[in-house]
């Protein structure tokens, strides 16, 4: 018998039609979930008091999820977090780093169409998430979507129209669901260390700044120089290339002087930052930006958010950002 806790935070999957359009419908999703009751599976559902569209998620909601998981962690074999798709990859990334020492499955899922729609993808996504949450050797945060199980901190939302809305461009799936579930256990993380969850510092100010031709680099540099950020992510071109814009470089140097990290990622979906592959990748590194390898923007933000919340700083922060803590990057 597997005992699973389902946390319903909001999102399209549990919405219903209203005169103003789709909107959260309290009580609807827990009733619909009764369809999944079967021998060998027991699950409880906690519906958050304030159901939100995931585009409105903040660190406060992340702490709500963390607190709900931590307070009930000893009582369940696995967990399913039902979440809106817009920021699901961000939440999955934050949880993957915040739930240090995780030795049970935490599986996020949602839908492109609500369960009340006759063609909803939510039924299959929920079935796969529940099955994944019953796997005792899945010791990580994952996303179940469109017949794939993806590592949470590798996943990205890639399509707002199709049912295959999520994938992990730089990592293979953890499982594929067909007539049989094909578990790729050789790719799963092993449990590491003791259970030490971290709450999020809700006052941290982090930003992702995308470089664009023209004034984009200078504007990013001005944002870095302004002094209000605790950390920043620069979305550069290709393998981490950027113009040697003096305003941008001065902004990175100002952040470094304040002890605030700046991480360089690539704008493209596949590939990684590789300092030295092109001469144009050197100026950001020389100014003090750290290369982020093939981290997704969602994973980079989540990793910085959790490490800074745990007061990791200086060289220890740089070292932690350069290595894979929860399978989030290729080293």
CATH code of the domain in which 231 resides: 3.40.50.40
312 pLDDT band (50/70/90 cuts)?
very high
pLDDT at 281: 85
Does residue 78 contact residue 135 with C-beta atoms inside 8 Å? Answer: yes
CATH number reported for the structural domain that contains residue 135 in this entry: 3.40.50.1170
Residues 183 and 233 occupy one common structural domain: no
Is residue 16 domain-resident? yes
Whether 24 has a pLDDT exceeding 90, the answer reads no
pLDDT over 70, % of the chain: 100
Residues 190 and 224 occupy one common structural domain: no
Q: Give the CB-side neighbour count of residue 234, counting CA atoms within 13 A.
A: 38
pTM (two decimals): 0.96
20 vs 40, more confident? 40
Residues 174 and 220 occupy one common structural domain: no
Query: pLDDT digits over 82-117, tens only?
Result: 999 999 999 999 999 999 999 999 999 999 999 999
Residues 169 and 221 occupy one common structural domain: no
The domain of 85 spans 2-197
- Residue 83 token pair: 């979440």
Query: pLDDT digits over 125-162, tens only?
Result: 999 999 999 999 999 999 999 999 999 999 999 999 99
Whether 9 has a pLDDT exceeding 90, the answer reads yes
Residues 179 and 288 occupy one common structural domain: no
Residues 185 and 214 occupy one common structural domain: no
276 vs 303, more confident? 303
Residues 226 and 182 occupy one common structural domain: no
Q: What is the mean pLDDT of residues 60-72?
A: 98
23 pLDDT band (50/70/90 cuts)?
confident
Residues 170 and 46 occupy one common structural domain: yes
Is residue 168 domain-resident? yes
The residue out of 175, 197, 219 marking a domain boundary is 197
- Residue 162 token pair: 């199709």
Whole-number average pLDDT of the chain: 96
pLDDT at 21: 84
Query: pLDDT digits over 184-240, tens only?
Result: 999 999 988 999 999 999 999 999 999 999 999 999 999 999 989 999 999 999 999
Is residue 84 domain-resident? yes
Distance CA 306, CA 100 (A): 10
Catalytic residue list? 12
Q: How many CB atoms lie within 10 A of CB 266?
A: 25
244 pLDDT band (50/70/90 cuts)?
very high
The residue out of 148, 177, 197 marking a domain boundary is 197
Helical segments of the chain, H only: 28-32, 59-71, 88-98, 122-133, 216-225, 246-257, 282-287, 297-309, 314-321
Is residue 97 domain-resident? yes
Q: What is the mean pLDDT of residues 232-251?
A: 96
Distance CA 204, CA 308 (A): 8
Is residue 220 domain-resident? yes
Whether 10 has a pLDDT exceeding 90, the answer reads yes
Does residue 71 contact residue 30 with C-beta atoms inside 8 Å? Answer: no
The residue out of 176, 197, 218 marking a domain boundary is 197
Residues 186 and 212 occupy one common structural domain: no
Is residue 327 domain-resident? no
Residues 28 and 62 occupy one common structural domain: yes
Is residue 255 domain-resident? yes
Distance CA 252, CA 221 (A): 7
Q: Which residues contact 224 (CB under 8 A, 6 or more apart)?
A: 209, 232, 248, 251, 252, 254, 255, 262
Query: pLDDT digits over 271-299, tens only?
Result: 999 998 888 889 999 999 999 999 999 99
18 pLDDT band (50/70/90 cuts)?
confident
Is residue 253 domain-resident? yes
pLDDT at 241: 95
Residues 171 and 95 occupy one common structural domain: yes
Domain count, the chain: 2
Residues 147 and 270 occupy one common structural domain: no
């Amino acid at each position: 018998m597997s005992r699973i806790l389902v946390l319903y935070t909001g999102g399209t999957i549990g919405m219903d039609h209203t005169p103003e359009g789709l909107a959260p419908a309290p009580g609807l999703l827990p009733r619909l979930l009764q369809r999944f009751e079967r021998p060998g599976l027991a699950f409880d559902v906690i519906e958050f008091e304030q159901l939100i569209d995931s585009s409105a998620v903040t660190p406060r909601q992340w702490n709500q999820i963390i607190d709900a998981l931590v307070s009930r962690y000893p009582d369940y074999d696995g967990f399913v977090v039902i979440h809106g798709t817009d920021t699901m990859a961000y939440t999955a990334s934050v949880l993957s780093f915040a739930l240090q020492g995780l030795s049970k499955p935490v599986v996020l899922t949602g839908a492109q169409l609500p369960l009340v729609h006759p063609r909803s993808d939510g039924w299959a996504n929920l079935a796969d998430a529940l099955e994944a949450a019953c796997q005792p050797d899945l010791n990580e945060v994952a996303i179940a979507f469109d017949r794939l199980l993806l590592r949470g901190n590798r996943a990205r939302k890639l399509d707002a129209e199709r049912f295959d809305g999520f994938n992990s461009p730089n990592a293979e799936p953890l499982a594929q669901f067909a007539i049989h579930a094909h578990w790729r256990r050789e790719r799963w993380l092993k449990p590491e260390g003791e259970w030490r969850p971290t709450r999020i510092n809700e006052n941290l100010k982090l930003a992702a700044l995308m470089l664009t031709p023209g004034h984009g680099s200078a504007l990013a540099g001005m944002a870095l120089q302004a002094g209000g950020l605790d950390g920043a992510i620069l979305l550069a071109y290709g393998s981490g290339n950027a113009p040697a814009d003096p305003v941008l470089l001065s902004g990175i140097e100002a952040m470094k002087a304040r002890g605030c990290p700046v991480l360089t990622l690539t704008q493209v979906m596949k590939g990684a930052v590789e300092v030295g592959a092109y001469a144009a990748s050197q100026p950001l590194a020389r100014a003090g930006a750290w290369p982020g390898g093939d981290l997704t923007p969602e994973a980079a933000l989540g990793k910085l958010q959790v490490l800074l919340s745990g007061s990791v700083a200086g060289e220890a922060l740089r070292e932690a950002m350069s290595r894979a803590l929860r399978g989030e990057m290729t080293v």
